[in-house]
Amino acid sequence: MQMHSSYVVTDPKGTVLIECGKMLEKNGYDIKVLNTINFKKSMHYNPFAYLRSEKDILKLVQTIIANTKGEGEKSSEDFWVKAERLYYTALIGYLYYEAPEEEQNFETLLAFIDASEVREEDENFKNAVDYIFDALEKEKPNHFAVKQYRKYKLAAGKTAKLILISCGARLAPFDIEELKNLMEYDEMGLDTIGDKKTALFIIISDTDDTFNFVVAMMYTQLFNLLCDKADDVYGGRLPVHVRCLLDEFSNIGQIPKFEKLIATIRSREISASIILQAKSQLKAIYKDNADTISGNCVRPEVVNTL
């Protein structure tokens, strides 16, 4: 096995980690594991730890929306999705700028949503979150989070209640205590994978897509973090090549703007091998962008099985 790069491996069922993990570790690799089958065997991953700007907040919210289901997913109900996006952006923006580091996680985000009581019969009712944002607006009227919250609050009582129901449906997996614990803090060091030889194994189920959104968040942040670091720290090229082996690519969720990322990462010492059961799987997830993604692969890997 070549050991000249860092590796990021989608590992269905965890077999690659078992076969290669010890060997890589003996040869000086840092081993990282995200296990979405058995959370107790996973290292901790907190997407909030990698927020550096308002742009990152918007990307995180976009990834959540693209890879989870709310109550308003039809094109005719696009309003609900946009309203949810505003609300997530406001709350995550508040946590990013105002909350202590140990509270910057999904558990706190869910606590905010749970505290967002709405009374249809009383338009003037204020919940705990309203009071928090009222206080912030008085102190910092041009705060990024305040601007998003103002837009969200344009929704009337009944409408706001439906928005919150959709938020609850979308983030229902976080009611699982083990998932909340896994994402409480971060041990992954995603932004250092291009600095030193590292092997990150992302273990996923090949039969259950419930937690694919976690994997999609990680890959989205990984690609963006590595590209930013290559440009801002290393003059355009990472010191250690990062090779991403994306097995079962159709089962890792949707990476926003992947058609653009796949076209630009190579010059930054990042490569991606996409492995599919059939090309139609790529089309099902990325629609009209599937051909662009395929065209930027030196050799698309399609594995046919009986």
Are both 35 and 60 inside the same structural domain?
no
Tell me, yes or no, whether 305 lies in a domain.
Answer: no
Looking at residue 11, its pLDDT comes to 95
Last residue of a domain, one of 135, 160, 179: 179
pLDDT higher at 157 or 81: 81
Is residue 301 one of the residues assigned to a domain?
Answer: no
User: Which CATH number characterizes residue 240's domain?
Assistant: 3.40.50.300
- Kindly state whether residue 148 falls inside one of the protein's structural domains: yes
Same domain, 122 and 199: no
Same domain, 60 and 152: yes
Encode pLDDT of 214-255 as tens digits.
Answer: 999 999 999 999 999 999 999 999 999 999 999 988 888 889
- The answer on 284 and 211 residing in a single domain is yes
Residues 60 and 171 in one domain: yes
pLDDT tens-place string over residues 110-168: 999 999 988 877 778 899 999 999 999 999 999 999 999 999 998 767 788 888 988 98
Q: How many domains does the chain have?
A: 2
Instruction: Give me the pLDDT at residue 306, please.
Output: 37
Say whether both 51 and 152 belong to one domain.
Answer: yes
Q: Is 199 found in the same domain as 170?
A: no
Is 90 inside a domain boundary? yes
| pLDDT at position 75 | 40
Q: Do 72 and 149 sit in the same domain of this protein?
A: yes
Does residue 207 sit in the same domain as residue 254?
A: yes
- Which pLDDT belongs to residue 287? 87
Q: Give the pLDDT score at 77.
A: 58
Last residue of a domain, one of 130, 147, 179: 179
Give the pLDDT of residue 304.
Answer: 46
Cα 102 → chain centroid? 19
Residue 124's pLDDT is what? 80
Per-residue pLDDT, 46:
98
**pLDDT tens figures, 268-282:** 999 999 988 888 888
Domain of 168, in residue numbers: 47-179
Instruction: Please indicate, yes or no, whether residues 27 and 60 belong to a single structural domain of this protein.
Output: no
Same domain, 165 and 76: yes
Residue 287 within a domain: yes
Q: Say what the pLDDT of residue 76 is.
A: 40
Higher pLDDT, 98 or 77: 98
**Of the listed ranges 7-21, 119-133, 181-195, the one predicted with least confidence:** 119-133
pLDDT band at 71 (very low <50, low <70, confident <90, very high): low
Res 291: pLDDT? 85
Pick from 121, 148, 179: which residue ends a domain?
Answer: 179
Q: Are residues 158 and 240 in the same domain?
A: no
Q: Band of the pLDDT at 65, cuts 50, 70, 90?
A: very high
- Asked if residue 241 belongs to a domain, the reply is yes
Would you say residue 220 lies in a domain? yes
Domain membership of residue 1 (yes or no) is no
